[in-house]
Structure 1
C-alpha cells in the first residue's frame, strides 16, 4: 500500500499478501530506528528519524537523567529541593545509559513523533493538539465521573504539549514497566559511580510517589474505557484529536498505544490500515481517516473484506516496532 498504489480493485488474497509485505517492510524500517537514535544520528535519508525528533529524544533522556540525579541528591541532603546541579558529565553518563536501553529509547522516540504529528496536524488541518471537539463534549458530559476524567485528561494533554516543547519527559508520565526499567538503569549507574550505590530511601521515595493511572496515557486509557461503545467515535481523528484517537485505536485494535502512534507515520500505512480494520472500521471509514493523516495514499476497497480478528492476528505476528525491539 505504497503511495503509488492507487488501485482499489484486486482479489482478497492479493491484498492481504500486499499488506503482509508492507507490514514486514515497516517492521524492517522500525528495527533501524533504535540503532540510529542510540548513536544520535540525524539522517535526512532515514524516513523515520528527523533532526527535530532526535533533538527531542536527546532532551527527554537528559531530563530523565536530571530528575533521577535530583532525587538522589535530595535524599543525601534531606531536602526536596536546593543544592547545586549535577555536573554535566554525570548527567551525560546517565543519559547515555538510558539511551542504551532500546525500550526507553523507543518510547522516547514515540513521544517525540506523537508531538511532531500533532504539530503537523495543527498546521495542516487546524487540529488543536490539546482540546479536541470530542474531549470538549466529554468535559460537558452529564455524567460527573466522565466529565471529571475528561478534565483531568485535558490538563494532562496540555502538560504533555508543554513538556514536549521544552523537550522534557517527567518520570511520572512513564508507563509502569518502563518506569521500573529506568530505575534499574539508575541503580546500575549509581553502583558504578559510588561503591554504596543509591542512597537508602531514594528508590522507595520515587516508587511510592508513582501512579500510572494519573499519567497522561493512564488517563486517556481510562477515558476510552469509560466511553464504552462510544469509543468508536474517537476513531474519527478530526473529532477526537490525535491523543485520544491513538488511545482509542490501541484499545480497539488490542495493541500497545505506542504501536498505534507508530502506525500514524507515513511509512507505516499497512500497519495503520490493519489497525483500523482490527478496530472494526469499514473501508469507507478507513479511507476518510487516511485522507486526513496521509492524503497521498489510497486504500484498496477490499480492505473491508479482511475480518477484524484476522487483521488483529496479522498485527500480532508483526515484529512490531521500536518499543518492542527486545522481543
Structure 2
C-alpha cells in the first residue's frame, strides 16, 4: 500500500522517522517456533498504529530460535520504553496463555531497550506486510493484540513480570527437576509477606532478641544470624503468603492448595536433599495449570489453552 494511503501515525513512522525517532526492542528466545508460528522475518501491526518487526537472529550453536522484536516509531524515549515493557508482558502472557516455552533475553534493568531509529531510514518500506507467518501465528497475534491494546496495566506490575518470566522460561529447562523448581519459584514474587501486628508477638520477639543479645556464650556471627531469624517471626512465611494468594484469587480451591503444598514439600527435598521423583512431569503439569489459572485471575484475561481443574480423583 502506498505510504500516502497509510493512517497518519503509520505514515509518519514509515516516511518521517525524525517525527518519531525512538524505537524499542525486545529479545525473545522460543523453545519451539512452531508453537508461536513465526517463520523467518515478520511484520505485525498491533492496534491501529504499532508496527512490530520480528527479526530472527542467527545462532547455529543455540538449540532454540532467537528473535528480536523492533517496535517502531515513538515521539519520546519514555513512550518507547513504556511500549517495549508492555509488549514484553504481552509476549509473556501469550506464552502463558498458549502454553509455550519462551524466555526474554536481556541484561538491563528492563526487558526492553530504547534506541534511535533515525539512522535506519528506509527500513520500513511496505509496513502493511503481515506475511512470513505460519498458520499458528494468527492466534499468537490475536493474544498480543488483546493484551497490548488492553487498558489493564499489567506492565506496571514488576512482581508479575518476574513471576511470568520464571514460569515461561521453566519449560526451557533441560531436566524435569530444574523445570519443577522453576515453576514453584514463579509463585514467590507474587507472594507478599504481611507483617503480623499482634502485641503479644511483638513482646515475645523483643524479649527473645534481648536474651540473644545479652548472651555471653554466643559468638557475634551466631547472634546476628539468630537476630535476623527472630525478627522474621513478625512476618508470615512464604508458604503462608502463597496460600493466601491462592485463596484470594482462586477462591476456595482446596485442590489447588493441596497441589501447591505437596509441590513445596517436594521442592524442599529436591533442593536440600537432592531427592529424585519419577513422576515430576505429571506434577509439573498440575502445577502449571494452577499457576496459569492464577495469572488469568490476576490479569483478567481468559486462557487460550484452558487449564485443567483437578479433583481428588485425578
If you compute each CA radius of gyration, which structure gives the higher value, 1 or 2? 2
| TM-score (ref. length: structure 2) | 0.26
Bigger relative CO (Cα 8 Å, ≥ 6 apart) = 1
| TM-score (ref. length: structure 1) | 0.25
